[in-house]
Amino acid sequence: MVFEQSADEVRKEHLEKLGAQLDPVFSELIDDVAWLQVKWAEYRQLYGTSPDRIDLLNSAAGLFFRILHDTLWEDALLHLCRLTDQAEMGGKQNLSIQGLPELCADPNLREEVAALVAKAIEAASFARDWRNRRIGHRDLALALNPSTRPLAAASRAQVSAAIAAIHRVLNEISERLLDTTLADDVLTPDTGAEALLYVLRDGVDAEAARRERFRSGTFTLDDLRHDTARAAADAER
């Protein structure tokens, strides 16, 4: 027999097992990490799957997708930094995995979580260098002097590893206190990057076919309307 709990029952159980201090912070971090996983999955769908996809993006709107690449990349690094920042800065509290150990009532769990947090902080250290000297602030020496210490090496593999390290912190608490293993990845809807790629492919193919009809002299009235509308749009810029 399958026993199903309502959302309210699940929240009540989590509160009882985690405690009034740990439960809200842990729950919010779960959601925050899941959102990072979703955004990172979308980034990888576009830029980390195959050269053919990169070629498609460049064919459709190369400049726009370069800007989108940089924006998603920097957002991922900033998100890693936020999740691993100090729990308190300037007298203000932050939502960070660094705040989890002291919220664990069991001393053994507190020690284990602290060790995992330290590993996650180290795994995300490259992102912090990027935030401090490139994204959050623009280091003048880095911008003007080629011989300045370069930014920390950063790759998609490092971002994935840092996300996994943060996930291990939360999973340790979940397995110990909730008897539940957190999924490594989140399921994303079919309205994301992959859906966009199908539309782009159709659009690029349609544009190539239209240009071929013009070259062969077999263009249609719709082709002419499209060309006229595009010329008018260009003239308005």
Instruction: Say how many domains are in the chain.
Output: 2
Altogether, the residues listed in the chain come to a count of 237
Q: Is residue 1 part of a domain?
A: no
Q: Is residue 3 part of a domain?
A: no
Interacting residues of 210 by C-beta distance below 8 A, sequence separation 6+: 219, 223, 226
Neighbours of 59 (CB within 10 A): 16
Contact 29, 79 (CB under 8 A): no
Q: Is residue 119 part of a domain?
A: yes
Tell me, yes or no, whether 91 and 20 share the same domain. Answer: yes
The pTM of the full predicted model, rounded to 2 decimals, is 0.90
| pLDDT value, residue 159 | 98
Neighbours of 26 (CB within 10 A): 23
Tell me, yes or no, whether 53 and 79 share the same domain. Answer: yes
Instruction: For residue 43, count CB atoms less than 10 angstroms from its CB and return exposed for 0-12, middle for 13-18, buried for 19 or more.
Output: buried
**Angle between helices 51-84 and 22-47 in degrees, nearest 10:** 160
Segments in the chain below pLDDT 50: 1
Tell me, yes or no, whether 148 and 199 share the same domain. Answer: no
Percent of the chain with pLDDT over 90: 77
Tell me, yes or no, whether 145 and 226 share the same domain. Answer: no
| pLDDT value, residue 3 | 59
Tell me, yes or no, whether 150 and 42 share the same domain. Answer: yes
| pLDDT value, residue 5 | 76
Q: Is residue 202 part of a domain?
A: yes
Tell me, yes or no, whether 117 and 208 share the same domain. Answer: no
Q: Which long-range contacts (CB under 8 A, 24 or more apart) does 203-208 make?
A: 203/60, 204/56, 204/59, 204/60
- pLDDT tens profile 126-155: 999 999 999 999 999 999 998 999 999 999
CA–CA distances in Å: residue 2 to residues 5, 162, 180 = 10, 36, 16
Domain boundary among 172, 187, 202: 187
Q: Is residue 109 part of a domain?
A: yes
Tell me, yes or no, whether 133 and 171 share the same domain. Answer: yes
Nearest residue to 103 via CA among 182, 181, 16, 26:
26
Tell me, yes or no, whether 42 and 146 share the same domain. Answer: yes
Domain boundary among 187, 202, 217: 187
| pLDDT value, residue 1 | 47
Q: Which two tokens stand for residue 209?
A: 């076919």
CA–CA distances in Å: residue 10 to residues 6, 13, 18, 105 = 6, 5, 12, 21
Domain region containing 82: 8-187
Q: Is residue 135 part of a domain?
A: yes
